[in-house]
Amino acid sequence: MIEVKGVRKWIQNGSRRVEILKGIDISIPSGQFVAIVGASGSGKSTLLGLLAGLDTPSEGEIILDGTPIHNLEEEALATVRGHKLGFVFQSYQLIPTLTALENVLLPFELNLPGNGIPQARKLLEQVGLGERMDHYPVQLSGGEQQRVALARAFIVEPPIVMADEPTGNLDSVNGQKVLELLLSRNSQAGTTLVLVTHDPQVAALAHRKIVLRDGLVVEDILQEPAQAELAIGGHN
């Protein structure tokens, strides 16, 4: 589902080149739940942004569900993202002038034909916001905004969902709700899930844990389903 081949990312700071990713090779099969972990500055959010086509690598290839995205023009890239990918930002990234329903509906209207309102309403009900559909982001708590962002990520039923620290700004109760929604999408719809986290309990829920340090993969560990089940129980 996701192929990463020799990916490097650097930024030029005057005459000095700052290396963020130093050569990443990863293959993620369909339906796998992968947690990317590492200390601050290890490159994990940069890697996730590259996988999502939100940034381009300085070198190397990224292939998303059969489509090379590392050298696509922005219009073609937006089309791939719109059909293949749901992305959940740590800071929610909701549009303040749109209601919860309108925020969820937006990717559908941009990428798919037909009427997406029934699906958007259903998703908001599933995330426990059936009574908050007409509220604007400023009228919603952080946990509610993150659940709107999740519903938005699911609206086009993408084969891949990526999330950057989706529980980082939430209390334990709302964090648990968000995790349960992501896990149910992975298990019930077979969605490939790639999640950046600093929380070892969250990482323990994944099928696979990739550890970054100084822009390199230093560990790539498959975790047995039984371990994931135990981790879920321990997180409640």
With 60 as the cut, is the pLDDT of residue 225 above it? no
What is the sign, positive or negative, of the torsion defined by CA atoms of 86, 91, 93, 97?
A: positive
With 70 as the cut, is the pLDDT of residue 158 above it? yes
Strands 59-64 and 208-213: unpaired
Digit-coded pLDDT (tens) for 12-70: 988 899 999 999 999 999 999 999 999 988 999 999 999 999 999 999 999 998 999 99
Residue tagged 């992501």 (tokens): 182
List the chain domain ranges. Answer: 2-235
When mean pLDDT is compared across 85-89, 171-175, 209-213, the lowest value belongs to 171-175
CB 173 within 8 A of CB 189: no
- The reported pLDDT for the residue numbered 43 is 94
Comparing CA positions, the residue from 221, 228, 215 lying closest to residue 7 is 215
> What is the full DSSP assignment across 10-69?
EEEETTEEEEEEEEEEEEE-TT-EEEEE--TTSSHHHHHHHHTTSS--SEEEEEETTEE-
With 70 as the cut, is the pLDDT of residue 228 above it? no
Q: What is the CA radius of gyration of the chain?
A: 18
118 burial level (CB within 10 Å; 0-12, 13-18, 19+): exposed
What is the sign, positive or negative, of the torsion defined by CA atoms of 125, 195, 61, 189?
A: negative
Residue tagged 């990520």 (tokens): 153
Contacts of 164 (CB under 8 A, 6+ apart): 45, 48, 49, 87, 88, 89, 90, 196
In CATH terms, the superfamily for domain 2-235 is: P-loop containing nucleotide triphosphate hydrolases (3.40.50.300)
- The reported pLDDT for the residue numbered 8 is 97
Tell me the whole-structure pTM to 2 decimals. 0.88
Structure tokens at 146: 């993150």
**Partners of 5 in the beta sheet?**
61
- The reported pLDDT for the residue numbered 189 is 85
Residue tagged 């081949």 (tokens): 5
- The reported pLDDT for the residue numbered 103 is 96
Digit-coded pLDDT (tens) for 95-143: 999 999 999 999 999 988 899 999 999 999 988 899 999 999 999 998 8
With 60 as the cut, is the pLDDT of residue 227 above it? no
Mean pLDDT across 173-192? 86
- The reported pLDDT for the residue numbered 202 is 87
